[in-house]
Amino acid sequence: MTPTEQELACLHVDVLALLARVELGLGVAEQQNRATARRTRVLEEQAQRTAQSSIFGARNSTEVARDEARLAAAGTTTPNPQVGAGEVGVVG
């Protein structure tokens, strides 16, 4: 392999690595956006339930704990998304 071909091969590998990082970064951003949307939806449901407390009565401690758990779960993302890793050729 000539030095020019070697340099081109190295650049090709660098571009592929950069592409993989960008795709994974986009996947993480997409997951964070979905988590934010889920969290917003849960907050809206909780606000609606609070607004209807005159109809259904005040929430008890079990319902409050369940709502807090739902809110915490809605805001989390998967730390290692397997689908995205498989798409870029990374084997887990």
* Rounded Cα distance, 71 and 85, in Å: 27
What is d(CA 41, CA 31) in angstroms, rounded to the nearest whole number? Answer: 15
Q: In b/e form, how buried is each residue of 56-65, taking b as 16+ CB within 10 angstroms?
A: eeeeeeeeee
Low-confidence ranges of the chain (pLDDT < 50): 90-92
State the pLDDT at residue 86: 53
pLDDT for the residue numbered 21: 94
Q: What is the pTM of this model?
A: 0.66
Confidence (pLDDT) at 69:
92
| Identity of the residue numbered 44 | E
Residue with tokens 């409050």: 64
